[in-house]
């Protein structure tokens, strides 16, 4: 016999891994990262700095243009005259009377239109009593230009004249087309004329701040009210000031920023001209009209603004491009449901997206820098950030691009290195594959045999002739399969015996429940027919027969009863000597359980009669039937039986005891349900101590031969 080198499986595995891994590690480690990653990073950062500086200049220029235009409007004689005339005619309406129907319609507008839409984005439940106009003139003008305005919400500015015959409406019809054209041409959200007392005597869009007072009215704590108060207190010419974005209730809680300046006629202070800033224009500047790639920001870069409160002042690129993915990202970062709801409602991240990153914190501290940080999506980015000072607005501006995209050229170079390494490793890979095939082949054979055994094929034999651990494993596997086959056959035989034993002792349904492992079986069942029977003449017959003959006769009769019970859907509960008890409707409900019990009783009488004719005996049987509710269950622990209890059982047993031989007694309930199908006669003997006829005898019963039956 030749000598063969025996290597353990562990040794073979280590040898293969060393051959393949060492070659690949040496090649890839030698090539490594040899590219100019630092130079690439500097180039990307330089591009981000350039974009950030460009956007900062654009946004500064935009606000300067707004300021210049507002100052031009404030010095325009038409605007000055319009403010005077609106204020004069506004005051003339202070004694205007508004009918109750108009007040009701105005309240209905607030309750049905304004407050429900505001409640969608605000926490809590806004109240009409808080938002309702406080003065008669406010109620009058809001009714005519808002509640009674035939145009829908968002189109109220299309109404030039309310046709109420007032001087205010005449002035409104004169100047409103001019102001509407101004905001449409320059892209403003709204324009306000405010008198020295803080009354908004005119707006273009006619939201619920129209003709309210910014000093004492509902919106006296809004950012517009604070801005107007500052401008009124200063009273300097060409004094235009900005105020930062805040949630503005008249615009249904949407973010709103304002710019305002005083209006003078000579040295007389006439009021304030204010403009609600257009969010879209700021977003267009920051997103390059949503052309991020054209701006050099690739597929993941963006430039955005953040305020001192760490909230965005421009829209997120990712909200614009893929709203659902953006919201899912925020949800995964545990952003509150209220914030997500407001972002969906307003379709903006302004004042909703929190950006508390390292870049924002350093920029708010007055620093500008470039570095790799994690952005508000918790994704690594290359970030260029700097403070942005516009009047009183202390914002920061950031230009960022995902690290994965910025380093895409590096990753591309890595792939080229891997391709080169792959070509160099080709020979090693072929060798490793050959070794792996030779090594895994016996394992695959054992796996295939194990799967066949798992599928139930216990006659499988694994044939491996190797002299290593695989051969020993195959021999152990075959021994295990043989032992498993033997044990499985033995278990199957025992299970069959146990099943047959259970079925011979218990009803089929109870036997199944016992097989499933149920221990405490007890239930209350209604609509169950109970049959009690007792053989008569059996004791006299027993005196002349041996024990074996007695048991044989009783076994024949009980077997015949069992066969008949199965045909009629009856379940045998127990036999006690020459007594036999069966029920119908216990495990399987029947609508005709009473009828089945009577048919079975007639069959039992025929069985006894036939048995007497065949054997020459003089046996007889008496049967009691009742129906109703019973309690059934398993009794005992080591030696248990299935039994039933209840008044229904007791009455059936009493009927059996009172029944004459060869007859069938039924209860009153059974009689009432089956009197149309069978003929009964009242039975007047005592049943359960009662002398009234509470039992009925089945009249059509024929007594077995040589027996006396009461008919």
| pTM, two decimal places | 0.56
- Smallest CA-to-CA distance from 242 within 61, 56, 64, 55 is with 64
**CA angle 383-404-50, nearest 5°?**
35
Residue 359 predicted with pLDDT over 80? yes
The pLDDT confidence band at residue 692, using thresholds 50, 70 and 90, is: very low
pLDDT on residue 433: 62
Tens-digit pLDDT profile for residues 381-429: 999 999 998 877 889 999 999 988 888 877 776 677 667 666 666 666 6
Q: What is the mean pLDDT of residues 141-149?
A: 92
Architecture of domain 517-698: 2-Layer Sandwich (3.30)
What are the CA-CA distances from residue 504 to residues 492, 493, 511, 552, 564 (Å)? Answer: 18, 17, 9, 18, 16
- Counting residues of the chain whose pLDDT is more than 70, the rounded percentage is 77
Q: What is the band of 707 on the pLDDT scale with cuts at 50, 70, 90?
A: very low
d(CA 420, CA 127): 72
Mean pLDDT is lowest, of 124-128, 145-149, 229-233, for: 124-128
* Other C-beta atoms lying within 10 Å of the C-beta of residue 701: 20
Cβ atoms of 57 and 285 closer than 8 Å: no
Q: Which fold has domain 46-57+281-409?
A: Beta-Lactamase (3.30.450)
Q: At 431, is the pLDDT very low, low, confident or very high (cuts 50, 70, 90)?
A: low
Q: What is the pLDDT of residue 704?
A: 41
Q: Is the dihedral of CA 508, 514, 518, 523 positive or negative?
A: positive
Asked if the model's pLDDT at residue 51 lies above 50, the reply is yes
| Band of residue 324 on the pLDDT scale cut at 50, 70, 90 | very high
Percent pLDDT > 90 in the chain is: 41
Q: Check the CA dihedral 73-78-80-84 and report its sign.
A: negative
Q: What class, spelled out in words, does domain 75-277 have in CATH? A: alpha beta
Asked if 171 and 89 count as a contact pair (C-beta separation under 8 A), the reply is yes
pLDDT bucket at 643, cuts 50 / 70 / 90: confident
Measuring CA to CA, which residue among 528, 527, 591, 533 is closest to residue 561?
A: 533
- 17 has pLDDT over 80: no
- Residue intervals of the chain classified under CATH 3.30.450.20 are 46-57+281-409, 75-277
Contact 86, 201 (CB under 8 A): yes
In the prediction, which pLDDT does 699 show? 85
Residue 424 has a pLDDT of 64
Poorest-pLDDT segment among 325-329, 574-578, 670-674: 574-578
344: its two tokens:
């969906």
pLDDT band at 11 (very low <50, low <70, confident <90, very high): low
Decide: 529 and 585 in contact? Cβ < 8 Å.
yes
Contact 168, 90 (CB under 8 A): yes
Segment 547-569 shows an average pLDDT of 90
| CATH 3.30.70.1230 location in the chain | 517-698
On the question of pLDDT at 34 being above 80, the answer is: no
Q: Using one digit for the tens of pLDDT, what is the confidence trace for 535-555?
A: 988 778 777 788 888 888 889
Rg (CA), the chain: 49
């Amino acid at each position: 016999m030749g000598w063969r080198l025996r290597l353990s499986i562990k040794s073979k595995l280590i040898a293969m891994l060393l051959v393949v891994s060492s070659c690949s590690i040496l090649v890839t480690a030698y090539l490594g990262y040899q590219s100019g990653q630092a130079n690439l990073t500097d180039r990307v950062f330089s591009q981000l700095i350039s974009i950030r500086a460009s956007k900062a200049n654009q946004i500064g220029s935009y606000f300067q243009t707004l300021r210049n235009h507002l100052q031009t409007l404030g010095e325009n004689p038409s605007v000055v005259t319009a403010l005077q005339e609106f204020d004069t005619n506004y005051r003339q309406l202070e004694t205007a009377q508004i009918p109750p129907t108009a007040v009701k319609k105005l309240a209905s507008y607030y309750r049905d239109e304004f407050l429900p839409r505001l409640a969608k984005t605000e926490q809590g439940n806004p109240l009409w009593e808080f938002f309702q106009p406080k003065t008669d003139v406010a109620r009058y003008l809001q009714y005519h230009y808002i509640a009674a305005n035939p145009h829908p919400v968002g189109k109220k500015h299309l109404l030039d004249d309310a046709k109420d015959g007032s001087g205010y409406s005449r002035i409104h019809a004169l100047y409103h087309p001019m102001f509407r054209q101004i905001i449409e041409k320059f892209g403003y959200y709204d324009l306000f004329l405010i008198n020295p007392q803080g009354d908004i005597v005119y707006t273009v869009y006619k939201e619920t701040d129209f003709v309210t007072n910014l000093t004492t009215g509902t919106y006296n704590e809004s950012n517009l009210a604070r801005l107007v108060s500052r401008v009124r207190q200063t009273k300097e010419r060409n004094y235009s000031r900005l105020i930062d974005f805040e949630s503005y209730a008249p615009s249904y809680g949407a973010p709103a920023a304002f710019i305002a300046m005083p209006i003078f006629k000579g040295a007389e202070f006439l009021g304030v001209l204010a403009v609600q800033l257009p969010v879209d224009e700021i977003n267009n500047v920051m997103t390059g009209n949503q052309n991020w790639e054209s701006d050099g920001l690739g597929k993941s870069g963006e430039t955005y603004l953040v305020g001192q409160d760490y909230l965005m002042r421009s829209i997120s690129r990712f909200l614009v491009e893929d709203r659902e993915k953006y919201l899912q990202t925020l949800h995964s970062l545990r952003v509150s449901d209220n914030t997500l709801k407001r972002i969906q409602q307003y379709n903006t991240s302004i004042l909703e997206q929190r950006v508390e990153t390292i870049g924002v914190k350093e920029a708010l501290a007055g620093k500008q820098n470039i570095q790799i940080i994690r952005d508000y999506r918790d994704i690594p980015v290359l970030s260029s950030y700097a403070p942005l000072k516009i009047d009183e607005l202390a914002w920061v501006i950031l230009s960022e691009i995902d690290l994965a995209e910025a380093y895409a050229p590096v990753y591309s170079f890595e792939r080229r290195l891997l391709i080169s390494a792959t070509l160099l490793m080709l020979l090693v890979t072929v060798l490793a594959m050959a070794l792996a095939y030779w090594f895994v082949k016996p394992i695959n054979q054992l796996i295939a045999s194990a799967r066949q055994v798992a599928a139930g094929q216990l006659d499988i034999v694994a044939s491996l002739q190797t002299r290593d651990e695989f051969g020993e494993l195959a021999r152990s596997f075959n021994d295990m399969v043989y032992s498993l086959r033997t044990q499985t056959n033995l278990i199957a035989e025992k299970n069959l015996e146990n099943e047959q034993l259970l079925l011979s002792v218990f009803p089929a349904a109870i036997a199944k429940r016992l097989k499933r492992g149920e221990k405490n079986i007890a239930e209350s069942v209604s609509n169950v027919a109970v049959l009690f029977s007792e053989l008569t003449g059996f004791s006299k017959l027993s005196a002349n027969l041996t024990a074996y003959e007695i048991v044989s006769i009783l076994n024949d009769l009980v077997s015949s009863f069992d066969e008949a019970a199965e045909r009629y859907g009856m379940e045998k509960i127990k036999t006690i000597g020459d007594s036999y008890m069966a029920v119908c409707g216990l495990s399987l409900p029947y609508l005709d359980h009473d009828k089945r019990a009577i048919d079975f009783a007639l069959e039992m009488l025929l069985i006894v009669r036939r048995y007497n004719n065949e054997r020459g005996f003089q046996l007889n049987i008496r049967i009691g039937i009742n129906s109703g509710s019973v309690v059934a269950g398993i009794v005992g622990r080591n030696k248990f039986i299935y039994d039933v209890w209840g008044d229904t059982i007791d009455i059936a047993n009493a009927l059996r005891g009172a029944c004459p031989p060869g007859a069938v007694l039924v209860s009153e309930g059974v009689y009432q349900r089956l009197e149309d199908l069978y003929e009964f006669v009242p039975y007047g003997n005592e049943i359960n101590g009662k002398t009234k006829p509470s039992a009925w005898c089945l009249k059509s019963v024929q007594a077995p031969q040589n027996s006396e039956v009461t008919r």
